[in-house]
Chains A and B, each alone.
Chain A
Amino acid sequence: MKRRDALKGGLVLLATSTLASIYKPAYSKTLVGGSGLWKAQPPPPLAVVDSSRLVFLTPDEAKLVGAIFDVLIPADELGMGATEAGCVTFLDHQLAGPFGSAAKDYKLGPVVEGLPQQGPQSIATPAEIYRKGLAELNRFSKKKFDKTFLDLDEAQKIEFLKNMENGTIDFETVKSRDFFTLLLQNVREGYLADPMYGGNRDMVGWKLIGFPGAVYDYRDWIVSKRGQKIDVQPVSLLRTA
């Protein structure tokens, strides 16, 4: 709506253009100073993941991941466990997106193993690692305990994961230690990221540590609450929790 278009006589007008648009750049992504065309496109609105169905994991995989996650972050008097907090939903959506496909990684060859300090050289994506790793995990569990991981008792599960963490379990297609690192990273992310991503239900992860959440201004507290406990109900970006 432009001022010019609001006219005496009640002819209230709605304009279709801005003055700026009279300047046309030669190429669409070229911006010319003085043209008023320099406002960026806003990013798309944030969205809440749909927890009603799986988008990457199979139901069996989801169950298995849930069992692992609940060992990594169990339910106790400090708060709910990882699965109840939505960490499996979180992971499922992460694996279906750019994280799962390692879309940002450099994947050109040759792919060779280097020194540890040269960093990960595998071009396997997190989605592939989960798919293979979960199958390996069950296979190994059956071989060793004659049971699936789900059927192990709590102590066995803990022992199993410790051995993955130490790298003492040999998987064939992925390194058990790398897979464990990924599992631990993702379950923490799910427990502590904004609830719109599917995890951190009721902001349980934030309440655990007293993190206020999606707050953008601490000017009133930076000095007045210095060194003091701040009791505040956290907030999430979309107030989903």
Chain B
Amino acid sequence: MARNLLQRALRISFRSGIVFSVTALPVCTVRAEDAPTSARIEHGRYLAVAGDCLACHTATGGQPFAGGLDLKTPFGIITTSNITSDKETGIGNWTFQQFENAVRHGKGPNGHLYPAMPYTAYSQISDPDIADLWEYIRTLPPVNHKVESNKLPFPYNIRSLLVFWNLLFFNDSAFVADASKSEEINRGAYLVNGLEHCGTCHTPKNVFGGDTKKTFQGASLQGWYAPDLTNNAHTGLGHWTEDDIVTYLRSGTNRYTAASGPMTEAIVNSTQHLTDADLRAIAAYFKSLPPRTVSPPQPLPASNEQVKAGQQEFVVECSACHRSNGKGISNMIPDLQNNPAINALNSDSLLNIVLKGTEGPATHANPTGAAMPSFGWKLQDAQIANVLTYVRNSWGNAAPAISAADVSKARTALNAQPAVPR
């Protein structure tokens, strides 16, 4: 028995070792075809984590990568495909060329893919990387799971219409390094704009849903606001150092903040597994971007009725965690002082977090997972409006007031609990 236990102990340690070693992988610059297959598969797995393929290609309660997740869009439901090696229902019969066409160019065997598949970003993936990704995807054990493709209504169900969308908004070109920037910044740009596809959330869209030129300047999406990632000090990452960015992407927290909403999942599933060098590259790239040019507004005065009432609420409801000066706790509870996310013109995320609460990130680097509870049931619209207005106009913050009507609207849109009657 002893030997058994010991062997098992070693085996499991070894296994966990492999899991953790993902984060220890070097930046792979080896030419794909030169490397042994096992290394290429491992590198492909790393790329799949960076691209977070698993999140969409797995249904609720389903087998990993077997597809079937319903993505509800304003245009109807798109169901993700089975990308396991099953020959009948997966992509077991595909060639590398077919795979490459789908991932980088949005062309599937039955016509154009919907841009639910972020090929618009994945087009940036390099030749060796797409080859390694394929090596890994091929190893996924077959799962026989037939997925009914899109259930979109007319006219969105006509895949050929996507030709026109692609013409307008899809720049189907490979990543081109900027020779004036360092190798590190270029590596960051490659990851951010390709596999990590940060702009999907953080870049504002035009009326047709295509990217505007306001790259990474912050965008609103379904109840959340993906904040400004430029170096603007009021609303963006101006105060963050490269270390702050690395710490945030690795642990989900840093001295200023903790991830919330959709970003929590991006960190837990993807960025925490990136190598130190890749995280540094991403940080270097973001710090190299020009700041969004916009001057901060004047804060509301402390005498403002909403600010006054909000301060009372803050002391009772918020200070236990965020402290009465809003400073929070490093790597745990967000600092509300001079906080870009608080200063954003758009208050979607703030309303979402206060009304519904948010789960904190639990990562290998910071397993705490401290969360914020929901206040939707407890506070009435006016109370929430006041406390957020107070927070948005205190300790160096400045942002427009939030009205009870704004809270009411958000409460309905988010399907948050009603305030308990009293």
Direct contact of A and B (CB under 8 A): yes
A positions within 8 Å CB-CB of B: 1-19, 21-22, 24, 39, 42, 45-48, 196, 214-217, 219-220, 235, 237-240
A39 and B120 alpha carbons, distance in the complex (Å): 35
Q: Is the CB of B55 within 8 A of A4?
A: yes
Q: Is B71 an interface residue (CB 8 A)?
A: yes
Q: Is the CB of B118 within 8 A of A7?
A: yes
Q: A1, A5, A15, A238 — which one has the most chain B CB atoms within 10 A of its CB?
A: A5
Q: Is the CB of B201 within 8 A of A6?
A: yes
Query: Which residue of chain A has its CB nearest to the CB of B75?
Result: A11
Query: Please, which residues of chain A bring their CB within 8 A of the CB of B373?
Result: 42
Query: Please, which residues of chain A bring their CB within 8 A of the CB of B224?
Result: 1
Out of B208, B262, B323, name the residue touching A6 (CB < 8 Å). Answer: B262
Query: Please, which residues of chain A bring their CB within 8 A of the CB of B181?
Result: none
**Cβ < 8 Å to A, chain B residues 33-55:** 52, 54-55
Q: Is the CB of B75 within 8 A of A2?
A: no
Q: Is the CB of B197 within 8 A of A17?
A: no
A sample of 21 inter-chain contacts (CB < 8 A) reads A2-B265, A4-B52, A5-B116, A6-B222, A8-B169, A9-B169, A10-B205, A14-B73, A14-B222, A15-B72, A16-B69, A16-B72, A19-B269, A22-B58, A39-B371, A47-B420, A48-B421, A48-B422, A217-B319, A217-B323, A235-B316
A219 and B205 alpha carbons, distance in the complex (Å): 45
Q: Is B406 an interface residue (CB 8 A)?
A: no
Give the Cβ gap from A174 to chain B, nearest Cβ, in Å. Answer: 36
Give the Cβ gap from B356 to chain A, nearest Cβ, in Å. Answer: 11
Q: Is B78 an interface residue (CB 8 A)?
A: yes
Beyond A2-B55, A215-B316, A238-B422, whether A8 also contacts B120 by CB under 8 A is yes
Query: Please, which residues of chain B bring their CB within 8 A of the CB of A46?
Result: 377-378, 420
Q: Is the CB of B54 within 8 A of A19?
A: yes
Q: Is the CB of B221 within 8 A of A12?
A: yes
Query: Please, which residues of chain A bring their CB within 8 A of the CB of B58?
Result: 17, 19, 22
Q: Is the CB of A13 within 8 A of B420?
A: no
A235 and B315 alpha carbons, distance in the complex (Å): 11
Give the Cβ gap from B64 to chain A, nearest Cβ, in Å. Answer: 6
Give the interface size bracket for B toward A.
Answer: 35 or more
Q: Is the CB of A13 within 8 A of B78?
A: yes
Give the Cβ gap from A35 to chain B, nearest Cβ, in Å. Answer: 12
Q: Is the CB of B60 within 8 A of A3?
A: no
Query: Please, which residues of chain A bring their CB within 8 A of the CB of B121?
Result: 8
**How many pairs, one residue from A and one from B, have CB atoms within 8 Å of each other in the complex?**
148
Q: Is the CB of B263 within 8 A of A9?
A: no
Query: Please, which residues of chain A bring their CB within 8 A of the CB of B263?
Result: 3
0/1 per residue, B64-101, Cβ < 8 Å to A?
A: 10000111111100100000000000000000000000
Query: Please, which residues of chain A bring their CB within 8 A of the CB of B408?
Result: none
Q: Is B366 an interface residue (CB 8 A)?
A: no
Q: Is B63 an interface residue (CB 8 A)?
A: yes
Query: Which residue of chain B has its CB nearest to the CB of A48?
Result: B422
Q: Is the CB of A42 within 8 A of B374?
A: yes
Out of A7, A19, A39, A216, name the residue touching B116 (CB < 8 Å). Answer: A7
Q: Is the CB of A1 within 8 A of B378?
A: no
Q: Is the CB of A10 within 8 A of B61?
A: no
Beyond A1-B222, A3-B265, A19-B265, whether A11 also contacts B200 by CB under 8 A is no
Beyond A1-B222, A24-B61, whether A11 also contacts B262 by CB under 8 A is no
Beyond A5-B56, A220-B324, A238-B420, whether A13 also contacts B73 by CB under 8 A is yes
Q: Is B223 an interface residue (CB 8 A)?
A: yes
Q: Is B115 an interface residue (CB 8 A)?
A: yes
Q: Is B14 an interface residue (CB 8 A)?
A: no
Q: Is the CB of A8 within 8 A of B115?
A: yes
Beyond A6-B201, A12-B73, A13-B116, whether A22 also contacts B63 by CB under 8 A is yes
A24 and B58 alpha carbons, distance in the complex (Å): 14
0/1 per residue, B238-281, Cβ < 8 Å to A?
A: 00000000000000000000000111011001000000000000
Q: Is B359 an interface residue (CB 8 A)?
A: yes
**Cβ < 8 Å to A, chain B residues 95-119:** 114-116, 118
